[in-house]
Structure 1
Amino acid sequence: MILADAKSKMQSSVESTQRAFNTIRTGRANASLLDKVLVDYYGSPTPLKSLANISTPDASTILIQPYERNTLNIIEKAISLSDVGLTPSNDGSVIRLNIPPLTSDRRKEFVKMATKYAEEGRVAIRNIRRDAIDSIRKQEKASEISKDESKDQQDNLQKLTNEYTSRIDALLAEKEKDITTV
């Protein structure tokens, strides 16, 4: 029970890390760059993807077609105010975001950011392991499980931790490769 719970939490940590990686620019247009952009739509923050169709017609352009034409200006404003770092150009019916090629300094900065996200994911996994080990030890103290069972569960938990940590490392290596590829 404890292991299954820890496994699902670790899986969600890996998925969270993957989502964080998706928000990092790689030099290619990717609609997920705009996932964190919230538009003030009638007084409530609304995700951009629920107000517009976001597509990537080529490797260096993101095209945003609002479902309602009157939202064009507020979408443009929201993108300008966001931390995406791209300047929107509005032609009256669609918004275009041109993705400039990354400089080597910017690439290094993004690699550092990816490394930071990966470390946050690893820390989350280690915290899950710590909590699970505490639960196992409590069960052992309460004589619900034997010392051998406790040791086996802790060993299995460590294997699980290593597995999910290596998944994050693999995701990081892939993201670094994406960022550094010119």
Structure 2
Amino acid sequence: MIADVLSETKDKMNKAVDAVKDDFGTVRTGRANPALFQKVLVEYYGSPTPLAQLASMQNPEARTLLVTPYDKTALKEIERALVNMPNLGANVGNDGEIVRVTLPELTEDRRREFVKIVRGKAEEARVSVRNIRRRAKDDLDALKSEVGDDEVARAEKELELVTKSHVEAIDDALKRKETELLEV
């Protein structure tokens, strides 16, 4: 029973770390990257659809991304979704076949803004990991009458080590992303 609680907790914490790494990928660095547009939803036949399902994306140059829709009728909607994307500041245009997204050069102030955004995302992930730990601790406390105080105490120590390792993984990902953002 204790092993089940710890295993489930590790799985949830791994998912939280993976989610924050994916979130970091959506924050722009100096290069155009298809991951920036991972969470863009396009209004397609009345329902919001992820951009990756409607078009292929290529980046032929460092700050240019070409979006080629599979269905040419979705071209205008894709362009509209990209223009309305917050925190991008890109020049978006279409030539009737593809949508060309040109990202401007990042200024020092803009880089610092992105670092703040990334730090906020990292803090949200840390809070998520701590909430998972709290729920697991409650589950372990509920098992005290069945397995004994010593077993629960050992499990809580292991839970703390697991939590610490996941928080460190988030911090490492944050350091890498900050370095990437501040690199000129």
TM interval, shorter chain, is: over 0.9
Q: How does 1:127-138 map to 2 (within 5 A)?
A: 127-138=131-142
- Following the alignment from structure 1 to structure 2, what is the Cα–Cα distance between the partners of residues 100 and 178? 17
Could you list the per-position Cα deviations for residues 3-29 of structure 1 after superposition, in whole angstroms to 9, with x for gaps in the alignment?
001000000000110111111000111
Question: SS of the residue aligned with 2:42?
Answer: strand
Match of 1:157 in 2: 159
- Following the alignment from structure 2 to structure 1, what is the Cα–Cα distance between the partners of residues 82 and 129? 33
Deviation at 1:52, TM superposition (A): 0.7
Corresponding pairs, count = 180
TM-score by length of 2: 0.95
Matched, 1:125 2:129: yes
Deviation at 1:82, TM superposition (A): 2.1
Match of 1:34 in 2: 37
Q: How does 1:21-170 map to 2 (within 5 A)?
A: 21-83=24-86, 84-140=88-144, 143-170=145-172
Could you list the per-position Cα deviations for residues 61-90 of structure 1 after superposition, in whole angstroms to 9, with x for gaps in the alignment?
111011122221111111112224323111
Match of 2:183 in 1: 181
The answer (yes or no) to whether the contact 1:34–1:48 under 8 Å persists in 2 is yes
Structure 2 residue identity aligned to 1:68 = D
The answer (yes or no) to whether the contact 1:79–1:87 under 8 Å persists in 2 is no
Question: SS of the residue aligned with 1:27?
Answer: coil
- Following the alignment from structure 1 to structure 2, what is the Cα–Cα distance between the partners of residues 73 and 87? 15
The answer (yes or no) to whether the contact 2:56–2:68 under 8 Å persists in 1 is yes
Any gaps of 5 or more consecutive residues in structure 2?
none
The answer (yes or no) to whether the contact 2:89–2:103 under 8 Å persists in 1 is no
Identity %: 43
- Following the alignment from structure 1 to structure 2, what is the Cα–Cα distance between the partners of residues 134 and 70? 53
Q: Which moved more, 1:65-74 or 1:38-47?
A: 65-74
Q: What is the root-mean-square deviation in Å for CA atoms of aligned residues?
A: 0.9
Any gaps of 5 or more consecutive residues in structure 1?
none
Deviation at 1:37, TM superposition (A): 1.1
